[in-house]
Amino acid sequence: MFIDHAAIETALKLAAGANDAAIDAVLAKAELGSPLDQLDIATLLEIKSEQHMGRLMGIAGAIKDRIYGNRIVVFAPLYISDYCVNNCTYCGYKHSNDFPRRRLSREEIQEEVMLLEKMGHKRLALEVGEDPVNCPIDYVVDAIDAIYTTKNDNGTIRRINVNIAATTVENYKKLKEASIGTYILFQETYHKPTYDLMHPKSVKGNYLYHLTAFDRAMEAGLDDVGAGVLFGLADYKFEVLALMMHNAHLEEKFGVGFHTISVPRIKKAEGMTLDQFSNQIDDQTFKKIVAILRVAVPFTGIIMSTRESAQMRRDMIRAGVSQISAGSCTGVGGYKESDRKSGTINQFEASDQRTPLEVLKELVADGLIPSYCTACYRSGRTGDRFMQLAKAGQIHNVCTPNALMTLQEFVLDYGDVALKVESEQLIEKELAAIERPDIKNLLAGNLERIRGGERDLYL
């Protein structure tokens, strides 16, 4: 098994109580952009002082700026079925919770998508519970088609990332044929004894089958995969090292690791209380985790959902986060106002309740470019091809112009006067800063075309 529990425990023991000199040495290594090994990461996990935290956050922020610039990808989740055969102790969808289950029809899915499109969304994360009978792979594939073919006055959803349970190579090939973006699956916890405890009487309880899902997905041709753990289930230090071990395994076997890493913390959900979980982490520890992930895997996107507060997300955008959800509902059919009032069960409680417009206003006010770009996926810049461009420092030549074009679209189609004023200033500033004349001229022309009514232009 490529998650070597003994090796992780050894690294944690060797790093335990690391002194200032040892931490400073690893921070200096990170500052130079040198790769960090397991012991280096374990050493950073020992950071406790404000001085070291400040330096770590600064390094993480500098790395993010160098690779991602000031772009922030914006998306929304779409929950289409809460049928589930599992009894995961931390989840509101668990089988033992007694509530009326729902699976959206094709028409209901399209209705939800229309509402999301009216908010300006172009990227969705499709979410379902695990139930082979009530939510088979063919239902998921049909849902994907329903989403892609739903169109309102201002266009369609352009990228669907999919979060479904671990499955077979054959089923992953079906997702590939359906033209999904990233395949997302959270290990929840890499610590096997904890994993077994958290998944009683569950199909999901097969640790090894769940752990090797990305191997099967990549064998099926899905070269963009997104990982994550649910912080609060097991010791966070173990989880971070295990995430890095999993990433290294994929890089060695397939030539590319995680496209994204999500960083959810456990939140209150139906049928459980937080005092059941003794490994919850405080805000300072959470910030440390996010910053360490950024320096450990500089080219991997880091996602922070609306589980976290608006202020936490704002803080961590400056120290590593590159993708956020906005205007999220975590219940099936939750984007219909009538469903919000009908007692729909959510998978977990969200903290940031702002609308996408409110989220974008804050991003633009902070000098950040909200991006709904899906160009890399549709242009074949996925997997190792994306990583090659990113590591060569060339990805910004396409990502920044594409982000600006999607911002211009949003402003014209969904923005209010205040957003339009600030966004136009930001767009002009960013356009002027582009160094390559050919890209600057192309972008300027495309922006004018968008203002003239064209849509979905990208490099």
Please give the chain's pLDDT, 459 residues, in tens.
899 999 999 999 999 999 999 999 999 999 999 999 999 999 999 999 999 999 999 999 999 999 889 999 999 999 999 999 999 999 999 999 999 999 999 999 999 999 999 999 999 999 999 999 999 999 999 999 999 999 988 889 999 999 999 999 999 999 999 999 999 999 999 999 999 999 999 999 999 999 999 999 999 999 999 999 999 999 999 999 999 999 999 999 999 999 999 999 999 888 999 999 999 999 999 999 999 999 999 999 999 999 999 999 999 999 999 999 999 988 899 898 544 444 555 555 678 889 999 999 999 999 999 999 988 777 777 776 677 766 766 666 788 999 999 999 999 999 999 999 999 999 999 999 999 999 999 999 999 999 999 999 988
Q: Report the pLDDT value the prediction gives residue 332, as an integer from 0 to 100.
A: 93
d(CA 291, CA 172): 32
d(CA 321, CA 262): 9
CA dihedral 314, 316, 319, 323 (to 10 degrees): -90
Q: Report the pLDDT value the prediction gives residue 145, as an integer from 0 to 100.
A: 98
140-156 b/e (C-beta count within 10 Å ≥ 16 → b):
bbebbebbbebeeebee
Q: What is the pTM of this model?
A: 0.94
What are the φ/ψ torsions at residue 228 (nearest 5 degrees)?
A: 170, 160
**Cα atoms found within 13 Å of the Cα of residue 180, Cβ hemisphere only:** 30
Q: Report the pLDDT value the prediction gives residue 392, as an integer from 0 to 100.
A: 66
CB 458 within 8 A of CB 375: yes
What H or E segment, with its residue span, contains residue 60? helix 50-68
Q: Report the pLDDT value the prediction gives residue 351, as an integer from 0 to 100.
A: 80
DSSP-assigned beta bridge partners for residue 423:
none
**Cα atoms found within 13 Å of the Cα of residue 115, Cβ hemisphere only:** 19
Q: Report the pLDDT value the prediction gives residue 339, as an integer from 0 to 100.
A: 44
Q: Which tokens in the block code for residue 92?
A: 């509101």
Q: Report the pLDDT value the prediction gives residue 338, as an integer from 0 to 100.
A: 44
- Going by C-alpha positions, the residue among 434, 290, 288 that lies closest to residue 369 is 434
